[in-house]
Amino acid sequence: MKELKVNLRVLMAQHKMKIKDVHEKTGLSRTTISKLYNEESTKIGMDTIVKLCSLFDCGVEELLILEEPKEKKE
């Protein structure tokens, strides 16, 4: 089964932004941003996606990436 990866960490690095910057520019909570940044979130609201895509001037496919699962090493 494919996995959904949130590419927020990469987008923030490309734009030289910190969690504080994203919070101030989007109005999203620092907790929401932090969970997405660390890929700990299990849900993401459509309004959150719109705000982040608007901030980074990107499409949904640049923010959310569907990829094959990584093989677990035993």
* Contact by Cβ (8 Å): 52, 35: no
* Contact by Cβ (8 Å): 48, 28: yes
- Residues whose CB is less than 8 angstroms from the CB of residue 8 and which lie 6 or more positions away in sequence, other chains included: 22, 33, 36, 37, 52, 63
* Contact by Cβ (8 Å): 24, 62: no
Mean pLDDT by 10 residues, the chain (74 residues): 93 98 98 96 95 98 90 62
pLDDT at position 71 is 72
What does the domain layout of the chain look like in residue ranges? 3-67
C-alpha span between 66 and 71 (Å, rounded): 15
Architecture, CATH, for domain 3-67: Orthogonal Bundle (1.10)
